[in-house]
Structure 1
Amino acid sequence: MSFISSVCIAVALVAAVGFFAYQTVMTPAGKGTAEVLFDIEPGDTLPRISAALEEQQLIRSARLFQYYVKFKGLGGQLKVGEYALTQSMTPDQIISVLISGRSVARKITFAEGLNVFDLVQIFEKNEIGTREEFFKLVYDKEFIRSLLGEELPSLEGYLYPETYQITKFESTRALLTQMVRRFLQVWQLEIEPVAKNSGWTRNQIVTFASIVEKETGAAFERPLVSSVFHNRIHKKMRLQTDPTVLYGMAMKQGKMPNNITRNDLLTPTPYNSYTNAGLPPTPIANPGKDALLATLRPAKTNYIFFVSKNDGTHVFSETLQQHNQAVRDFQLNPKARENRSWRDLNQQPHQLNNKINK
Structure 2
Amino acid sequence: MWRSVASNALTLFIALFLMAGGLLLWAKRQYEGPGPLAEPICLRVEPGASMAVISRELEGQRAISNATIFRLGAKYSEKSGLLKAGSFLVPPRASMEEIVDIVTRGGRSTCGTELNFRIGVVSAQLQLREVDPATGRYVEVLAFDPAGGEIPEDYAALRAAQDLRFRVTLAEGVTSWQVVEELKAADFLEGAVVDLPAEGSLAPDSYEVQPGMARGDLIAEMQRRQAVILGELWERRADGLPITTPEEALILASIVEKETGVPDERGRVASVFVNRLRQGIRLQTDPTVIYGVTLGKEPLGRGIRQSELRRATPWNTYVIDGLPPTPIANPGRASIEAALNPDDTDFLFFVADGTGGHAFARTLAEHNRNVARWRQIEAEQRGQGQ
The two structures share one fold, judged by TM-score above 0.5: yes
The whole-number CA distance in structure 1 between the counterparts of 2:199 and 2:270 is: 20
Deviation at 1:197, TM superposition (A): 7.3
Among residues 195, 199, 203, which one is paired with 1:137 in the alignment? 195
The one of 309, 312, 326 aligned to 2:353: 309
How far did residue 290 of structure 1 move? 1.1
Give the conservation status (yes or no) of the 8 Å contact 2:178–2:297: no
Query: Is the 2:353–2:374 contact (alpha carbons within 8 Å) kept by the matching residues of 1?
Result: yes
Change (3 A) 1:309 1:196: closer
Which of 188, 193, 215 does residue 172 from structure 1 map onto? 215
Are 2:220 and 1:184 equivalent residues in the alignment? no
Q: Name 1:10's counterpart in structure 2.
A: none
Aligned to 1:291: 335
Give the C-alpha shift of residue 271 in structure 1.
0.8
Residues 228 and 122 (structure 1 numbering): CA distance in 2 closer, same or farther, change over 3 Å? same
As a proportion of its length, which structure holds more strand? 2
Task: Establish whether residue 208 from structure 1 lines up as the match of residue 247 from structure 2.
Answer: no
Q: After the TM superposition, which residues 76-225 of structure 1 pair with which residues of structure 2 at under 5 Å, given as runs?
A: 105-127=165-187, 128=189, 133-134=192-193, 136-138=194-196, 154-194=197-237, 198=241, 200-225=244-269
The verdict on how the C-alpha distance between 1:219 and 1:85 changes in structure 2, with shifts beyond 3 A counting, is closer
State the alpha-carbon separation in 2 of the partners of residues 283 and 120 from structure 1: 17
* Distance 1:330-1:257 versus aligned 2 partners, 3 A rule: closer
Identify the residue that residue 308 of structure 2 maps to in structure 1.
264
**SS state at 2:208 partner:** strand
How many angstroms does 1:281 deviate by?
0.6
Letter in 2 for 1:167: Q
Contact kept? 1:241, 1:274, Cα under 8 Å: yes
The alignment's TM-score, normalised by the length of structure 2, stands at 0.53
Equivalent pairs counted in the alignment come to: 227
How far did 1:155 drift? 1.9
> After TM superposition, where is structure 1 displaced by more than 4 Å over at least 4 residues in a row?
82-86, 195-199, 338-342
Q: Which amino acid aligns with 2:165?
A: A
Return 297-306 or 166-175, whichever deviates more: 166-175
With normalisation by structure 1, the TM-score equals 0.57
Q: SS state of the match for residue 178, structure 1?
A: helix
Partner of 1:236: 280
- Cα deviation 1:32-83 (Å, max 9, x = unaligned): xxxxxxxxxxxxxxxxxxxxxxxxxxxxxxxxxxxxxxxxxxxxxxxxxx99
**Alignment match, 1:18:** none
Q: 8 Å contact 1:310–1:330 — kept in the other structure? A: yes
Instruction: Check conservation: 1:303, 1:318, Cα contact below 8 A.
Output: yes
For 1:240-267, what per-residue CA distance to the aligned partner results, in whole angstroms no more than 9, with x for missing partners?
111111111123x954432321110101
Q: Which runs of 5+ in 1 are unaligned?
A: 1-81, 87-103, 139-153, 343-358
Q: Gaps spanning 5+ residues in structure 2: where?
A: 1-158
Per-residue Cα deviation, 1:16-38 (whole angstroms, up to 9, x for no partner): xxxxxxxxxxxxxxxxxxxxxxx
The SS at the match of 2:376 is coil
Q: Describe the SS at the equivalent of 1:331.
A: helix
Change (3 A) 1:85 1:239: closer
Structure 1 residue 283: Cα displacement: 0.6
Distance, in Å, in 1 between the alignment partners of 2:291 and 2:319 is 14
The match for 2:369 is 325
2:209 partner letter: I
The 3-state SS of whatever aligns with 2:237 is helix
Change beyond 3 A, Cα 1:84–1:256 = closer
Change (3 A) 1:288 1:339: farther
Q: Deviation at 1:126?
A: 1.9
Tell me, in whole angstroms, the C-alpha distance in 1 between the residues paired with 2:327 and 2:312. 17
The two structures, once aligned, show a CA RMSD in angstroms of: 3.0
AA matched with 1:185: V
C-alpha spacing 1:124/1:316, structure 2 compared with 1 (3 Å): same
Q: Aligned with 1:188: secondary structure?
A: helix
Q: Which has the higher contact order (CA 8 A, sep 6+)?
A: 1
The superposition leaves residues 276-299 of structure 1 with CA deviations (integer Å, 9 ceiling, x where unpaired) of 111111111111111111111111
Judging changes above 3 Å, is the alpha-carbon distance between structure 1 residues 116 and 236 closer, same or farther for their aligned structure 2 residues? same
Residues 230 and 246 in structure 2, CA contact (< 8 A), matched pair in contact too: no
Equivalent residue for 1:250, pick from 294, 299, 314: 294
Contact 2:348/2:362, CA 8 A, preserved across alignment = yes
Give me the identity figure in percent: 34
